[in-house]
Amino acid sequence: MTRADSPRDFVLATLGASLRFCVVMLMLGLGMVRSVSAAGVSAPSGEVQLLVARYFQSASADARSALAERIEHVEGVTLEAVAAAVRSAQLWDARAPGFDTFDLMTERGTTTKVHIHVPETYDPARGYPLLLAFHGQDGDGAGYLRFALRLLGDRMNEFIVAAPTRLGGCFIGSPPVESSDPVALFRALKARYHIDTDRIYASGYSKGGHQSFLLGLLYPDILASAVPLAGTFATQVGLELVDLMLPNLQRLPMLVVYGELDRGQPGGRIDDRSGISGANRYIKARAKALDVPIGMMELKGVGHGGVTPPAERFHEMLSKVRTHHVKRIEHRFRYQPQGRIDWLRQTRFQGAPWKGEHIRVKPKGEGTYSDALVRKLKSTLPAIGGSIEGQEIRIRTRRCSEIELLLNDELVDMDLDIAVYLKGRIVFRGRPTPRITTLLDVAYEDWEFQGLYWVRYGITREGEIEER
C-alpha cells in the first residue's frame, strides 16, 4: 500500500473530492463557471455536470449507456454544453506529493510497476504536464525516475513524472500481445492523475532512448515531444525501415541526443551504419531528404555513458504543446493497437502482421538485399493516412480490413454535407450527425478531454460505412 492509498489518505481523498464537487456545484449555481468550448456557449447545468461526472466514474458499460441517455434527455441540453461539462469535469482524487507507485494491468493480464513523482503543489483541480521516463537495459523505473528528476532540476515540481519498469510494446520487434501496453499506460496515467494531455513528453536512456524514439513514431498524436538519450530508432530489421516510418514524425518535435563514440549495435544486422551513432547519422541524413524536422545532437568525444542534454534545449522540448486536428496525416505501424492517428483508427487488421522479430528476404536477380527488404516491408506494414480539404475527406489504407473516421467541427462544417473517399472511391456523401453519445464514448475510451470528437463512422475496406 502506497502513501497515497493508505486508509487515512483514502478518507482524505474522498472528502476532498466531495468538497470539490460541492464547490463546483455552488459555482455553477452562482454562474461563476464558464464553458471552455466555443465563445458564447453557456455553462452546463448542474444536472449535466453531475451526470457527466458520474458517466466517467462508472466502470460499467451498461451504466454509462444509461447515463448517456439521461444526459441526452436533460431539458435544453446541447452538445456544446455536454462538451463543456466533459472538459471541466473534476474526476481526480487528491494524491500525496512525493513518490507514488501503482501496478498497471495490461490487456494481456500482466502487471507493470509504474513509479511516479507527484509535484509538491499537486492540485487535482488542474492539469499538469507529464514526463514519461524510460530506463535502460537492466534498470528499473524507480532508479530512472531519480535521473529524470535531476534532468528537470528546479522544474521537477512542475511535472508529473512516470517511470514504468520493463513496459512492453516499445520495440518494433515486440510481440503482438504487448502492442497495447503503451496505450494502456497512457490511459491509466490520465485516469489516475489530472494531466494536461496537450503536454505529454517521452524521454529515456539507452534502451529507454530506443523506446521513447519508437513511441514518438507510433503516437505523435498523443505526445507533444520526445527526447531520446543515447538511443535511436532500433529497427531490428535494418535501417531500410527508417525511410518508411520516419514520415510519421512530420508533426512531432523530437530531439535525439547521443555520443559521437556510441558504436554499440542497437539491433539489426551489422554494416557501416551500425551502432547508435551510425544509425543516428543515417537517420539525420534521411530526415533531411524526406523533409522530416527531427533534431539530432551529437556530443563530441562522448560514448554510450554520460549523455546529458543541454538544460536549455531539454526544457525547450518540454515546453512544446501537442497539435490538434491535423488535416493531413500519414501513419505506418505494425500492430492494430498502434494503428491510430488523430481522426483515423484501424479497428481490424487485414490478414496478420509479420511473425517474429526479424524479416528474412532474398534478393531477386541483380537486386540488393536493401531493395528486397524495402519491397517486403512496404507489403508487410499496414498504413493509414489521408487529407481533409473543405468538406472532402480522402482516406488511404493498407492492410486495414476496417477503420474508424472521427470528426468534429474543427475538421469539417457540421452544417454542410461531407464527401468521404476511400482509396479514391466515394463511400459517403451527406450531412454528419453529431451525437452526445459519441462524444462521451470516444472521450471515455481514450480518457481524452482536450480533443473531443462527436461523429464516428466505421468503414470497411469494401467501402461499407455506418455511423456509430
Cell of 23: 464547490
Cell of 35: 464553458
pLDDT over threshold 80, residue 16: no
- What's the rounded Cα separation, in Å, for the pair 144 and 148? 6
Q: Are 78 and 35 in contact (CB under 8 A)?
A: no
Q: What is the per-residue pLDDT for 273?
A: 61
Q: What is the per-residue pLDDT for 9?
A: 44
The reported pTM is: 0.88
Q: Are 74 and 97 in contact (CB under 8 A)?
A: no
pLDDT over threshold 90, residue 411: yes
- What's the rounded Cα separation, in Å, for the pair 371 and 240? 9
Q: What is the per-residue pLDDT for 325?
A: 86
Domains in the chain: ranges and CATH: 3-88 (no CATH), 98-317 (3.40.50.1820), 328-467 (no CATH)
Calculate mean pLDDT across residues 392-412: 97
User: pLDDT tens-digit profile of 22-74?
Assistant: 444 444 343 333 333 344 455 678 999 999 999 999 999 999 999 999 999 99
φ and ψ at 400, to 5 degrees? -120, 115
Cell of 305: 555513458
- What's the rounded Cα separation, in Å, for the pair 166 and 404? 31
Calculate mean pLDDT across residues 343-361: 89
**Secondary structure (3-state) at 98:** strand
